[in-house]
Amino acid sequence: MKFLDLPAIKSVEGVVRLPGSKSISNRILLLAALANGVTHIRNLLVSDDTARMLDALQALGVTIVQINENDCRVQGIGGQSSLHFPVNEADLFLGNAGTVFRPLTAILALAQGRYRLSGASRMHERPIGDLVDALRQVGADITYLGEEGFPPLQIQPARIRVNAITVRGDVSSQFLTGLLMALPLLAPTADETPMITVTGELISRPYIELTIGLMGRFGVHVEHEGWRHFMLPGGQRYRSPGEIFVEGDASSASYFLAAGAVGTGPVRVEGIGHGSLQGDVRFAEALEKMGARITRGNSWIEAAAPEYGSLRAIDLDCNHIPDAAMTLAVVALFARGITTLRNIASWRVKETDRLAAMARELRKFGAAVEEGPDFLRITPPPDGNLAAHAVVDTYDDHRMAMCFSLVSLGVPLRINDPGCVTKTFPDYFEKFATIIRAWHG
């Protein structure tokens, strides 16, 4: 489908069962592959990104048995300190999946094999130099096959040594995630304690907390000092937890919660709640600051529009919700006042330059948008009169398509290339349609 026309929606209400989290799914798949034993993964996300991880692991010789669409069993390669995949030479295409490319680069750099890692054209524009520099500090042999600092990469066998690693924290949290997941492979004896030091600001810290939490479920416990120094006491190895459940995707929840806050509601999402591992679950707190009515349970969150009046603008540091903050940029069209979203420089190295793309598309609806190096300042059109029938470009970015579907709560619009949502949420528009209760006109 080249485009999707959405009519203006009058109200929304309903319950949405969330797909599994992409961030959790791909981390668990890789950890299960590295662990000793068989892991039964339940509620695995079915998407382009998880397909890239599954394809890569199977190409490396990992045995994966599909039980049904959302459940599989992974036979780990042993959790041994000397890592060797069954296939020691492979050419892996990883699409535009950062949650695959960055962690897999770190693991394969220590795996004593010959691997070529490539991706979609946009992946070859996304920086990876800081991760490569960090891996070279322990002796990894990695060569750029194109532009310096960017994929594609060639990895060769190398003499890996235990050494302190320093990595920048202000470009992508996926660099640190990859290094953390590789730490048990750097500590061959209990007497050795590999350490990672982060320089600069650590962005997207909740994703690092997620990584450490999932590593703990596979028996490896990382210590840290002030989120600057990360240590792994020697001798720890990954071991299967037996069965593990992927919680619902908190980033995907943001679209439905925002719909409830803007379009009367209530809208309830099931699959996340109290105790969620994901940082984006705090998106609900941002909606509360804007005046939305939020209620929570152990495995659900519900959002409804303010009881009186409309949503109000906020000024928010979004370092803790980098993906869900995109949804706030669209919600700002429906809020009174000027909304400022700060600390979002990481948007520029995602599936597209999201800062530039979001500013460009918001202006099509009459908003005044100031784009800074790490912030957006959004002023809705006078009296909230959004421009109708605008055509939204999505830049092959799933989150652009899902975010701008929310504009239909005010005016009709067209979304180009709606199929890009297959990256993380293939049936998003079908799920969105289930909460529609009335149409304008």
Classify burial at 430, counting beta carbons within 10 Å of its beta carbon; exposed 0-12, middle 13-18, buried 19 or more. Answer: exposed
**Cβ–Cβ under 8 Å, residues 353 and 125:** no
Q: Nearest 5°: phi and psi at 241?
A: -80, 0
Mode of pairing for the β-strands spanning 243-245 and 38-42: parallel
Cα 292 to its chain centre, rounded Å, is: 25
Question: In this structure, what token pair is assigned to residue 172?
Answer: 């992508």
363's enclosing H/E stretch is helix 354-363
H-run or E-run covering 433? helix 428-434
* Per-residue DSSP letter, 435: T
133 included as an active-site residue: no
Q: How far is CA 252 from CA 130, 200, 259, 401, in A?
A: 29, 29, 12, 12
Is the backbone of residue 309 left (phi > 0), alpha (psi -120 to 50) or beta?
left
Question: Which residues 6+ apart lie within 8 Å of 26 measured at CB?
Answer: 49, 50, 53, 97, 99, 100, 103
Q: Tell me which of 130, 249, 323, 417 is the catalytic residue.
A: 323
- Annotated catalytic residues are 323
